[in-house]
Amino acid sequence: MTTGARVDLERVRSQCERIRAEFRRLYDWIPLRPLTGEAVARWAELKGPLCRRVLAAVQHRGEPAELARILPGVDGLELFVAALERRGCPPELCQAARGAVAAFAELIHEGGGSQRRLVAALREAAAIGPGAAEGGADGTAVRARMHEAASTLTGSACDAMVVVTILYRSRERSGDLDSIGALGQLGYRARPDAAPLMAKHYAPVGVEDETELAGPADSLHQRFGTPDLAITRARIDERRVLTTYDGRHMGERPIDVWSGPVRNRGVSRLEPGGDNGYGTLAAVRTPVRTLVHDLWVEAPLANSSVLRAGAYRATPDAFGTIDYKQWYDRLPGEPRILLPGADLLAGLERIHPRHVEVLDHCFEAGDLRREGFVCHRCVVEFPIWMAIYRLTLEFPPTVEPRG
């Protein structure tokens, strides 16, 4: 059934961006960390579903018109603003948010008289896809509810998870690819009875002493992480080390944990005529609000490769390298990849105020320059708990190793 309503798509996008920006300012004012829907609901004395939908809208980074579907109704938005006003939110923030809500209400009126008809008109115009309840693959609001449940179940949550991988041709071995990896888990909070935070990384074979196991893997945390954590390490097997960061004695104070940079030699090999590929993964073992997964690739390699992204159940097979071999573990839909060439460093202060410094530190660990690399970035709001997000590069058989 068609609605017959005509919509000005650019105006819809503009108004939706406006309301997202104004409610982002409200959320930034709220004195809670981590900012989960349930925590805000308890603090503001509002219903959980309302706060979850507002949070999902605030954190949406896709097509702006999708916000017409994600946002709660006008009455709910007005209730949200009024609740924050009672809690002492500055009048200028509340006034700006109410102006955005009024503009959204006018948009709904022009789009058919109800939010449902506006969304239907946008779908007819092919401006937005189906919602998660109708078979769509994005489902941000659904993942937000899963995040809330997982946070309650585990007693822990992270504001952001940052995974950085730098892939380049080996300087010592022709045909080999080396990598540098780093992991950041930021704004982590946990109840006293929750399990400590853990990170796995590779270490040189034959190194057993704990101080040697740390090596460069400690340098990021020393510069950018929360001090005074209880840190222990143990070798899992001949290649991997498990590091445990215990900050439960800090109570409600959020902590930042960094692991890396770790240099891995010979992670893949370019064989003429062979099945060449490389994969990097982000395993979501702690409920996370935002995942930023970066794969920096030496420009000549990036130009001769094909990139794919996928989300997988955390089964043993899902840790493989080339994703088409694990199709049976794959979850529906594909995580969104930002196109190379965009200003991928802009706006990272929202994730971590010193993120560019972190990147530079990782490049320095391999005596590399960021300017010679292409970045592929995958951003997922509310990644699925206990899922694995993988970026996979496939090189054609004609790729020749450097002599």
User: Which of 397, 176, 180 shows the shortest CA–CA distance to 304?
Assistant: 397
Q: Which residue has the higher pLDDT, 21 or 243?
A: 21
What is the reported pLDDT for 187?
A: 86
User: Which of 81, 58, 78 shows the shortest CA–CA distance to 70?
Assistant: 58
- Model confidence at 69: pLDDT above 50: yes
- pLDDT tens track for 91-133: 999 999 999 999 999 988 887 788 888 888 877 765 554 444 3
User: Which of 178, 256, 217, 239 shows the shortest CA–CA distance to 361?
Assistant: 217
Beta-carbon contacts of residue 304 (< 8 Å; ≥ 6 apart): 395, 396, 399
- Model confidence at 7: pLDDT above 80: no
What is the reported pLDDT for 401?
A: 43
- Report residue 347's pLDDT band, with 50, 70 and 90 as the boundaries: low
- Mean of pLDDT values over 235-252: 74
What is the reported pLDDT for 402?
A: 43
- Mean of pLDDT values over 62-87: 89
Q: Which residue has the higher pLDDT, 181 or 271?
A: 181
Contact 219, 362 (CB under 8 A): no
Rounded Cα distance, 98 and 115, in Å: 17
- Model confidence at 352: pLDDT above 80: no
Q: Which of helix, strand or coil describes residue 218?
A: helix
What is the reported pLDDT for 9?
A: 81
Average pLDDT, the chain: 80
Rounded Cα distance, 174 and 185, in Å: 35
Contact 59, 289 (CB under 8 A): yes
- Report residue 320's pLDDT band, with 50, 70 and 90 as the boundaries: low
pLDDT above 70 coverage of the chain, percent: 79
Tell me which of 64-78, 128-142, 247-261 is least confident. 128-142
- Mean of pLDDT values over 213-218: 52
Q: Measured between alpha carbons, how far apart are the two ends of the chain, in Å?
A: 63
What is the reported pLDDT for 163?
A: 93
Rounded Cα distance, 39 and 31, in Å: 11
Q: Which residue has the higher pLDDT, 277 or 124?
A: 277
pLDDT above 90 coverage of the chain, percent: 21
- Report residue 162's pLDDT band, with 50, 70 and 90 as the boundaries: very high
Which residues partner with 117 through β-bridges?
none
Count Cβ atoms within 10 A of the Cβ of residue 399 and give its class: 0-12 exposed, 13-18 middle, 19 or more buried: middle
User: Which of 111, 132, 115 shows the shortest CA–CA distance to 56?
Assistant: 132
Max avg pLDDT among 175-179, 247-251, 318-322: 175-179
- Report residue 209's pLDDT band, with 50, 70 and 90 as the boundaries: very low
Contact 178, 270 (CB under 8 A): no
**Site of tokens 């950085």:** 164
List the domain boundaries for the chain.
9-129, 155-395
Tell me which of 14-18, 145-149, 303-307 is least confident. 303-307
- pLDDT tens track for 355-399: 888 888 999 988 999 888 988 888 888 899 999 999 988 877 655
Count CB-CB contacts under 10 A for residue 116.
15
- Arch. (CATH architecture) of 155-395: Sandwich (2.60)
Neighbouring C-alpha atoms within 13 Å toward the C-beta of 371:
0
- Report residue 137's pLDDT band, with 50, 70 and 90 as the boundaries: very low
